[in-house]
Homo-oligomer: A and B are copies of this chain.
Amino acid sequence: MRKTLEFMMYDWLKVQELTRRDRYAAHSRETFDSVLDVSEKIALEQFQPLNRLTDEQEPEYVNGAVKLPDGVGQALKAYADSGLLAAGHNEGVGGMQLPYVIDMAANTFFAFNSISLSAYAMLTYANANLLMAHGSEAQKNAFALPQLQGRYFGTMCLSEPTAGSSLGDITTKAVPDGDDYLDCGLGPRYKIKGSKMWISGAEHDLTENIIHLVLAKIPDDCGQLPAGPKGISLFVVPKFLVEENGGITSTRNDVMLIGLNHKLGYRGIPNTLLSFGENNDAIGYRIGEPGQGLQLMFHMMNEARINIGMGAAMLGYAGYKASLDYARDRRQGHLRSNKGTQRGNAQIKLIEHPDVKRMLLAQKSFSEGALGLVLYCAHLIDEKRTGTDDQKNRAHALLELLTPIAKSWPSEWCLEANSLAIQVLGGSGYTRDFPVEQYWRDNRLNMIHEGTHGIQALDLLGRKVRQNDGAAFNLWVSEVMQTIEQAHEHADLKGFAQDLDVQLQHLIAATQKSQQDDMFEMSLAHATPYMQAFGHIVIAWLWLQVTLAAYGSDTTNEAFVAGKRSAMQYFYAYELARAHGWLNLILDADDAVATMQDDWF
């Protein structure tokens, strides 16, 4: 993976050019590479050996606490000691001022080697990043900096037992704590009361403290909770109370573990049901203004969504690598021709069988395609942060549009890649003696958490492509057209450019049709297939960019370039063609789902 990762960073995205910007001026390709070296080493030495162990010894509920297998604390300490939690932040707060794309590239190794251990880190840096962007100075000092140092870990507390996808319906209350609640140095002080469900990493003794970011509603004067998502506010709620100066106390806040969810996979991190303020007071400090909660939370959610996509891509890659190794090693069967089976003395390697090669090439096209997508988005984050105004606006618009794709596409197709990895190994793949079945189980979470597939699809079709009269969508279309034009200059790539153009035109037509007044409700039934088509077109577009970069690179060898081109060809031949079928549901206004009635099932 390292070779493809570096190729995508330096030959395709040219991230080394970021070092020309003031913020990254102290960096060079050498410092970037050394971050990758250290990360790869720690991940392999500390995370990899725990991946199966944490699956087998899942978190245990013991008297309101969580018992984790030995070694988890040490592995996460090694991660924290690497400095990656603060990687993107200013040197003044202990950061490395690394571009986000380097930060993400470094984190790929941890996700590759243990997705569930890497989730503690992801929640922590995304939590701290929100606080650093939107918290007060006191909140940054008390809650964010200790996370950047790895002394505290973080969580995000959104869902409740009766409000999962439907966050507007949460009922957790935040009531001002005394008449002087506004006088608290850590921000307006509230008593939080309610339950939160599906909260990862919310109880453990790995760190001195745990910082919960909690969505809750502030009742009006009549004690009524404001309706809908606009009534949501955001609070920071520590496990142990802190002094106004930020010092930790030994006083436990009333955030209590009620139970653990017993999961199909992703077991290295506990997933919990929490109660706030059930017995005593659960003190929380408001971030931002009342009613801004969901908007602020999106700072963390958008980052988390792209990182979910990265994690899914890495699980896909890990399965690809494991099945590739197996297929190169295991001998089974003989070659066939139209004259029958060519029975020699020795069996041939699995990889020599066309159907096995097909499954490996599919995994390559999915996992490398997904990696390309999330790196592309991470690079946009850098553009948005440090680019010119034009670059910032462009990056912001593309990120808004592509975030649901970056979250959903790897989650769906790298899961499919993991299923193919199992298939390459056959019976062995179905046993726990090999890692591929765990990758498949772990990856199944990614279409569910951080906004389900359906939620991402509604975000894309119902909001993102419509915003500002479709400005982001039109901008993206023009970017795809540029790639198509570039590809037309290579005789070898012309056919692919044409195929992409055809599918892009279908997408444009379906997007327009979905916005007709009489089509909107019917289109909701087709939101997921629309997103699947959109995702496939995005990946096909990026594969074409990657192949163009490979053609233009002087650092890669022929086999590497041929591999990229073949993976692209595979994706176009086997996958891209599907886009039209998905889009036809809107173009033909198919009503199978819309007309279906409950009692017809």
Interface string of A538-576 (1 = CB under 8 A from B): 000000000000000000000110110010011001100
Asked whether any CB of chain B lies closer than 8 Å to the CB of A584, the reply is yes
- A338 pairs with B431, CB closer than 8 A: no
Task: Tell me the smallest distance from the CB of A190 to a CB of chain B, in Å.
Answer: 25
A328: chain B residues at CB < 8 Å are 598
Instruction: Known A419-B444, A427-B261, A573-B588; judge A168-B601 contact (CB<8 A).
Output: no
Encode contact with B along A325-365: 1 for CB under 8 Å, 0 otherwise.
00010011110111001010001000101111110110010
A563 to B: closest C-beta gap in Å: 4
Interface contact A361-B584, CB-CB below 8 Å: no
**Stretch of A80-88, A94-102, A384-392, A445-453 on the interface side:** A445-453
Cβ–Cβ < 8 Å partners of A598 in chain B: 328, 351
Q: How far is the CA of A597 from the CA of B357 in the complex (A)?
A: 9
A591 to chain B, nearest CB (A): 8
Residues from 30 to 53 in A contacting B, C-beta threshold 8 Å: none
* Among all A-B residue pairs, the 5 with the closest Cβ atoms: A563-B600, A338-B520, A354-B525, A166-B333, A355-B454
Stoichiometry, copies per complex: 2
- 14 chain-A/chain-B pairs, Cβ below 8 angstroms: A166-B347, A227-B343, A338-B520, A338-B521, A351-B598, A353-B454, A356-B454, A419-B444, A423-B452, A427-B448, A430-B444, A566-B596, A573-B584, A574-B585
Q: Indicate if the CB atoms of B593 and A358 lie closer than 8 Å.
A: yes
Distance in Å: Cβ of A554 to nearest Cβ of chain B = 19
A228 within 8 A of B: yes
Chain B residue at minimal CB-CB distance from A588: B573
Answer whether residue A517 sits at the interface, using C-beta atoms and an 8 A cutoff.
yes
Instruction: List A421-460 residues whose CB lies under 8 Å from chain B.
Output: 422-423, 426-427, 429-433, 437, 440-441, 444-445, 447-449, 452-454, 457-458
- Contact between chains at B585 and A431 (CB < 8 Å): no
Binding site for B on A (CB under 8 A): 159, 162-166, 168-169, 197-198, 227-228, 261-265, 324, 328, 331-334, 336-338, 341, 343, 347, 351, 353-358, 360-361, 364, 415, 419, 422-423, 426-427, 429-433, 437, 440-441, 444-445, 447-449, 452-454, 457-458, 462, 517, 520-521, 524-525, 527-529, 559-560, 562-563, 566, 569-570, 573-574, 577-578, 581, 584-585, 588, 590, 592-601
Q: Which secondary structure dominates chain A's binding surface? A: helix
Contact call A263/B432, Cβ cutoff below 8 A: yes
Residues of B near A263 (CB, < 8 A) are 430-432
Residues of B within 8 Å of A562, CB to CB, are 597, 600
Tell whether, in the assembled complex, residue A355 and residue B524 are in contact, meaning their CB atoms are under 8 Å apart: yes
Tell whether, in the assembled complex, residue A264 and residue B525 are in contact, meaning their CB atoms are under 8 Å apart.
no
B592 touches A432 (CB 8 A): no
Enumerate chain B residues within 8 angstroms of A454, measured Cβ to Cβ: 353, 355-356, 423
Q: How far is the CA of A169 from the CA of B348 in the complex (A)?
A: 12
Given A169-B347, A336-B458, A578-B578; A354-B584 close (CB under 8 Å): no
Residues of B with C-beta under 8 A to A517: 338
- Quote the shortest CB–CB distance from A230 to chain B (angstroms): 10
